[in-house]
Amino acid sequence: MARAPTRAARRKAAPPTKAPKGADRPTPPGLPLGRSGRFHPPYGLGLWALGRWTKEDEARTRSSLDRALERNVPWLDTAEVYGTGRSERMLGDVLALRAEGAPRPFLTTKVSWEHLRAAQVRASIQGSLQRLGRSSVDVYLVHAPDPHVPIAETMGAMEELWKAGKIGAIGVSNFTVPQLEAAQAALKEAEIVVNQIRFNLLDRAEATPIARYCREHRIVLEAYTPLARGLLTGRYLGREKPSAEVRRYAHSMFEADRFAELQGTARKLRDLADEAKVPLPSIALHWLARQGVAPVFGASRPEQVDAVVEAWAIRPADAVLDRAEAIAGGRVA
């Protein structure tokens, strides 16, 4: 894919790096992207935290991104609102310094829910591409619907970008089934190939009917918070408590009564993982994957990337995933 001139110039000036030794093999294509003949990778790293916090946090997240590229995590997800553009800019800087011939990750970004007028959509993609140092992205998502902007106006602009080759495909995020239907009806030639929503073993009531609809209509469902903000890694099952920042972005998950219930379920799932001799995140990730869902995980430290990559490499037996489903559904005492 061609790079923007400004980024190309910077890359030319920088000394080339060597591809990391012993890097994991790229993950093969996973999920069909509608009728395009292309594929969506089975899992990826979300860069929500990239550029959001202190300089120290930002440095840790950048090192996590570097590790994800070393481990050939096949898909990177960002958005113009993440760090008000800093996430896209840092990702572009890191990708510009990659070795020649290194695997190119599948790249998705999003237009803000505050920029859904046609002119704003066009301006937003230009800004995102400039920050990313790309002439196009694989999928461009509407980050969330805005009830004050007609969906036909937004999707019309998205379809123009698709026809112009600036985006490889059209996606949405946080859309309900009726909103998906309205968005697809507004398109003349293109199709919606992705919907990204909050979905995991512990938080799935609202997502389940959306997942069913997406399967029936060949829409890839991307699941953010697949590890339930750390609960499905075993975090917060001891003395550690979620920080104020985590609580702020975890919706109702960490409300006192609900959190206690979710902790109890997570402990049962951890016991199941111990019995099956697999990592707890393996169960969480592959429970989603078995449904044709692509999990997008977050990481603020390189070792978290390592843990997810290693968990992804271990697929629990179907009987284990069936029991996890029963535990999470409250069907196991």
Q: Does the annotation count 43 as an active-site position?
A: no
Q: Is 302 helix (H, G, I), strand (E, B) or coil?
A: helix
How far apart are the C-alpha atoms of 210 and 193, rounded to whole Å? 14
CB distance 66 to 20 below 8 Å: no
Dist. CA 210–CA 215, nearest whole Å: 9
Residue with tokens 């995102």: 128
Q: Are strands 39-40 and 31-32 parallel, antiparallel or unpaired?
A: antiparallel
Query: CB under 8 Å, gap of 24 or more: what pairs does 55-58 form?
Result: 57/300, 58/86, 58/90
Catalytic residue among 43, 82, 140, 224: 82
Question: Measured between alpha carbons, how far is 288 from 156 in angstroms, rounded to an integer?
Answer: 32
Tokens of residue 274, six digits:
């111990």
Query: What is the dihedral angle through the alpha carbons of 257, 263, 264, 266, rounded to the nearest 10 degrees?
Result: 140
What residues act catalytically?
82
